[in-house]
Amino acid sequence: MNYEDFVITDFLDIRFQKAFKKYFKELGIEVKDWDRLFNEINEDKNTRAIVRMKNDDIVVKII
């Protein structure tokens, strides 16, 4: 399988948001204010994530 990796530094990036929401849904975690959550993550300028994608197949790694 050929996946493409994206280093995410802006957590308002739709690829990250889509993956994060999918992950939380799988865990059964409900978030009332996604915008607030993503803005809070964005406040830490040292946080990075890798989003690995192939079509709709998404894997996220926070580094």
pLDDT in tens, 1-60: 677 888 999 999 988 998 889 889 989 999 999 999 999 999 998 989 888 887 666 665
Number of domains in the chain: 1
Structural domain including 18 reads 4-62
Cross-sheet strand order for the sheet of 49-54: 4-8, 49-54, 57-62
Q: What is the DSSP letter of 28?
A: T
pLDDT (0 to 100) of residue 27: 93
Residue 33 Cα to chain centre, angstroms: 15
pLDDT (0 to 100) of residue 56: 63
pLDDT (0 to 100) of residue 15: 86
